[in-house]
Amino acid sequence: MNFQLIGVNHNSAPLDVRERLAISEARLPDAIRTLVKQPGVEEGMVLSTCNRVELLTSTREAADLREFLRNYFGVSPDSLHSHIYEFRQSEAVRHVFRVASSLDSMVVGEPQILGQVKEAYAVARGLGAVHSALEALLSRAFAVAKRVRTETAIGSSSVSISAVAVQLAEKIFGSLRNKTVYVVGAGKMAELAARHLIGRGASNILFTNRTYERAVQMAEAFGGKAIPFDQLYDTVGRADIVLTSTGASEPLFRRDHGEQLLNRRKNQPMFFIDIAVPRNVDPEMNRLDGMFVYDIDDLQSVAGNNSSERKKEAERAEKIIDAEVERFANRMKSLAVVPTILSLQEYCETIRQAEIDRIRSKMGVLTPDQEAAIEAMTRGIINKLLHTPITTLKSTAAEPEAATIHEIIRRIFNLNTNPKGSSNSGKSDK
């Protein structure tokens, strides 16, 4: 089995190049069909996401996948040359494992890529473009991705400000279902954080702004409720999470506000996400039991720490990938000897049958007991003769001398490697 992969990703190519090579969902089946018609290509699949376009193939011999890119996309080879990467055999396997495990993603550890690889695989499989080789590779890639996710904490921490805000809110409140979010002021980042919080289940959203119309606009956009700014202090006690991003030069919330709020809320915790600069929430409030105040620097610091954590986890994941690539290569090598073993067994069986027929023609009709005795004896001889060559083929499959041993056995027994029963149907050369 020869694996060959060619592609571009967010590291190798700028967006305009990736855009030219992107394949829409509607065009994907056509691209796959065209790919598997390429000379030398036996199986193929195409992965096209916003960050990468990759062609993965199993080939009989080296296929010119660059030719496919040129013809299919109509782009000149020179314009792509510096952006394309190409991997073969174990390097292709490693790349597929890394992509599925989200180690090659723009945000390392993001979970979407595995779903995208699974979708691409399903489309190719549905078209009959994936058989044994890619099937084995992809199945292993999904298992490796699962292993990486289970054995490392690569996807457990958030790395964007708004995702960190949600992560913190969940650390305080657990589920955000039925939690009330109060957005004070307007701003892109507050909007994004609110969107994230709603996405995680926060259902009651209140908006206030010095310009009431702006609060109304946002409330309509998010399905929340607008509150006049002068009612802020009367209503803020209803909120579990307060997102502040006003342009106020003095803090809107100070320690004494915090104490009042805690009294009003029977000490139920409150989480203030202060994205404003200068700050809208006095950091002193964080000293109160049950009050959690994070400003923009705190959020960035958590995101930074999470990024470093992910890097550390990615190093652990790379070790898992190394081990899995080796394991997969060994498995492929042991599978490679199967056709030879089948040919060998078939060759001996043909001789055995021929000899039994010869005895029958000489001795005439045999009794069932005699038939059984001859059957058992000849089978025993064949099994004993084949035992050593077969075990040698299996045990040395992953070793460097495997090819030599393979070749010697084929020559001794005058075999080709396409027995009748194998997947590559062909005739035995006997």
Partner 1 sequence: MPLFWLRTALGLYGFGLLYAVMAIWGERQRLTRIMLPAVGLGVVFHFVSVIESVKQGLLDTSLSVHQVESLLAFLLMAFFFAIYGIYRTASPGIAVFPLAFVLALSAQSFSGPPSENVEASPFGPGWKYAHVALIMIGYSALIISFVASILYLIQEKNLKAKGISGFWSRLPALATIDEIGYRVLIFGFPFMTFGLISGSILAEAKFGPDYFKDAKVLLSALMWLVYTILLYTRWSAGWRGKRAAYLAACAFAAAAVAWVANIHP
Rama region for 273: left / alpha / beta (φ>0; ψ in -120 to 50; rest): beta
Find the shortest distance in angstroms from Cβ 287 to partner 1.
8
Find the shortest distance in angstroms from Cβ 277 to partner 1.
17
Residue 72 interacting with partner 1 (CB under 8 A): no
> Is 253 or 294 the residue whose CB approaches partner 1 more closely?
294
Give me the DSSP letters along 396-424: TTTSTTHHHHHHHHHHHHT--S--TTSSS
User: Phi/psi of residue 200, each to 5°?
Assistant: -95, 10
How close are the terminal C-alpha atoms of the chain, in Å?
25
> Is 211 or 305 the residue whose CB approaches partner 1 more closely?
305
> Is 11 or 301 the residue whose CB approaches partner 1 more closely?
301
> Is 75 or 288 the residue whose CB approaches partner 1 more closely?
288
9-17, 134-142, 284-292, 330-338 -> range binding partner 1 (CB under 8 A): 284-292
Site for partner 1 in 121-150 (CB under 8 A): 150
Residue positions annotated with a catalytic role: 50
Residue 197 interacting with partner 1 (CB under 8 A): no
Residue 162 interacting with partner 1 (CB under 8 A): no
Alpha carbon 285 to chain centroid, angstroms? 42
**Of 114, 141, 168, 181, the one binding partner 1 by CB under 8 A:** 168
> Is 173 or 347 the residue whose CB approaches partner 1 more closely?
173
Alpha carbon 424 to chain centroid, angstroms? 31
**Is the four-CA dihedral 73, 107, 179, 208 of positive or negative sign?**
negative
Distances (CA, A) of 376 to 71, 112, 327, 352, 383: 60, 58, 39, 11, 10
| CA pair distance 231, 165, nearest whole angstrom | 25
Alpha carbon 3 to chain centroid, angstroms? 18
Find the shortest distance in angstroms from Cβ 200 to partner 1.
12
Find the shortest distance in angstroms from Cβ 154 to partner 1.
12
Extended strands (E) in 199-349: 204-209, 225-228, 241-244, 270-274, 291-295
**Of 211, 301, 370, 424, the one binding partner 1 by CB under 8 A:** 301
Residue 267 interacting with partner 1 (CB under 8 A): yes
115-123, 133-141, 164-172, 319-327 -> range binding partner 1 (CB under 8 A): 164-172
Rama region for 227: left / alpha / beta (φ>0; ψ in -120 to 50; rest): beta
By rule CB under 8 A, what string of x and - marks binding of each residue 75-114 to partner 1? Answer: ----------------------------------------
User: CA torsion angle for 2, 7, 142, 134 (degrees, to 10)?
Assistant: -30
Question: What residues make contact with partner 1 under the rule CB under 8 A?
Answer: 150-151, 153, 157, 167-168, 170-174, 265-269, 286-287, 289-290, 292, 294, 298, 301-302, 305-306, 309
